[in-house]
Structures are given as structure tokens and as C-alpha cells.
Amino acid sequence: MEDVRSLRDGLRMLIDGSDGFSCVGSFRTMEEALDKIGSLCPDVVLADIGLPGMNGIDGVRVIKERHPSLTVLMLTVYEDDERIFDALCAGASGYLVKKTPPARLLEGIREAADGGSPMSPDIARRVVDLFRKIRPREQSDYLLTPHELRLLKLLVEGHNYKTAATELGVTLNTVCFHIKNIYEKMQVHSKSEAVAKALRNRIIN
């Protein structure tokens, strides 16, 4: 959902013109989108916040109520703590700003479709700071090793497995090995669950 036609058309052209992607619908308002989403069956919904009529955050709540398994990715100009927090609490799986480069946007859409939680770097830092302020730390650190904690911190900051491997100077196979151990210790089954639990329990310093 994007109310500026030039941006909406640009996003459609970008998505339709990229291998492996297809734009099944584009809408000016959340109300228009809500009428069609059920029949279009998208893998990922891109939603702005500042929309005419129902805003994007309220729209995410409605989408998640009607279609709990549908992935919603915010794409907006807003970078303030309140809107970021409200959007994620409403059910958004990720939060990207409109200045995100096209290649990174496509990567974020794919990551969201695969169960990830893509965020612009500045947004990821704000989210970490927000959860540090509002969530009490639990006693358990799930017995994660220092290396596992460092890897988990990279995931929280928005890295995927490949970029985390580059950052740590290890192979992708090594990262996958440690990820498996992290998931088992934290009793989660995906990157997004691990990130959410790490933030919720404040196990990342």
C-alpha cells in the first residue's frame, strides 16, 4: 500500500521486473487492499504507514486478525521509536525505510517471505535500544557460548546467515552449525523467533 502513485508504480515495476518476484496488486489505501488481499494470496505485503483513511499500523492489525499467517513488511519514511514499536507490535515482520536501495528492498522481501525479519540498519539499532529500555532481563542466557551470542547479536542487527559468516570470518556451514545449536538451546525454529526471543529476554548486551 502506497498513496503516492509514482512510488507505487515504481515499486510495481521493480518487483515485476526482477526474477523470482511478481506484484499481484498495488493499492492507494489500506481499505482497498483489505478488500482484495484474501483473493490475491500474496506471500508478502508491503505497507506504508502514512496512508489516507486507515493508517498502515492499524491496517497491519486488521490484516493479521484476518490472515494471521500473512507476512507484512513496513516500507515507510518514518523512523521514530513510537511508530517502529507500534508497527512491530501490530504484527509487522520487518521495517524498512523508503530510502532503502532497490537491491536491498528485494532482498528484504525475499527474507521476509522466508520467515526473516528484515530491518534497515538504523531501525534495527533503534529496536534493540527500545527493547533494552522496556523489557526486564531474565536470568537465563540459554547457556549460549560467547561465539553463539556474537552470532545471535548479528542476527538481531539484521544480518542474514551469509553476511553474518562474512562478518565473523567463517564459512556459511560454520554459521549453520552454530545456528542449529542456538535454535536448540533457545527452543526456537527460525531466525525471526530467535531474534524476537533475544530481544524479549534481553540476552544480547
Residue 167's pLDDT is what?
92
Q: Quick check: helix, strand or coil at residue 183? A: helix
Residue 194's pLDDT is what?
87
86/170 Cα distance (integer angstroms): 36
pLDDT digits (tens, 9 = 90+) for 44-89: 999 999 999 999 999 999 999 999 889 999 999 998 888 888 898 8
Residue 140's pLDDT is what?
58
Residue 134's pLDDT is what?
61
Residue 139's pLDDT is what?
47
* Nearest partner of 86 among 127, 135, 133, judged by Cα: 127
Q: What does pLDDT average to in each consecutive run of 10 residues of the chain (205 residues)?
A: 84 93 93 92 93 93 91 92 88 92 94 90 84 58 86 90 92 92 89 84 74
pLDDT digits (tens, 9 = 90+) for 3-17: 788 889 999 999 999
User: CA separation (Å) from 62 to 25, 68, 96, 130, 140?
Assistant: 18, 9, 20, 24, 35
